[in-house]
């Protein structure tokens, strides 16, 4: 069996033209077992169970980007989206319906072929953290947690 490596990934959110993330943590995908046929052993005549795809509800995806003051940067666009998703009591925009979006995550091999992909819907920013502040001169990372109402393999 050949080892498959991920050479690149893409998180596309339909609300934005192009975002560039340093990393994306994809949640585990689980299946439910449906029906009555379960593979009980490998012997001849064994009974089999049907596995069906289960919709994964309310998962969270963590994304990281490099902080930037450029108005068109991923950092600035994500901060603006965060404000849109915040309640008015916290100086946000009150989380209008337009704050939610849909999107996809794709992983690619070295040849540029899609290895895996997932569909996302009901996506919004629910948490923001800033990386460690240091005088060492390193880049400042921002971490955003995205709440995803529906997460399915594509």
| Whether 100 contacts 12, CB under 8 Å | no
Taking residues 135-146, what's their average pLDDT? 90
Across the chain, what does the average pLDDT equal? 83
For the question of whether the overall pTM of this predicted structure is more than 0.85, the answer is: no
The full set of domains in the chain, from first to last, is 8-26+57-153 (2.30.110)
- Whether 120 shows a pLDDT value over 50: the answer reads yes
Do strands 101-108 and 8-13 pair parallel, antiparallel, or not at all (unpaired)? antiparallel
| Whether 64 contacts 22, CB under 8 Å | yes
Give the percent of the chain with pLDDT over 90: 51
């Amino acid at each position: 069996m050949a080892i498959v490596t991920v050479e690149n990934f893409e998180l596309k959110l339909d609300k934005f033209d192009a975002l560039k993330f340093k990393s994306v943590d994809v949640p585990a995908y689980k299946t439910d077992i449906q029906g009555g046929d379960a593979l009980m052993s490998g012997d001849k005549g064994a009974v089999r169970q049907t596995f069906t795809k289960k919709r994964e509800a309310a998962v969270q995806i963590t994304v990281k980007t490099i902080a930037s003051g450029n108005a068109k940067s991923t950092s600035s666009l994500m901060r603006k989206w965060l404000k849109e998703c915040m309640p008015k009591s916290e100086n946000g925009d009150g989380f209008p319906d337009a704050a939610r979006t849909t999107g996809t995550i794709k992983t690619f091999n070295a040849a540029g072929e899609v290895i895996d992909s997932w569909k996302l819907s009901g996506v919004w920013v629910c948490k923001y953290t800033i990386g460690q502040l240091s005088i060492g001169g390193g880049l400042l990372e921002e971490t955003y947690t995205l709440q995803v109402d529906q997460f399915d393999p594509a």
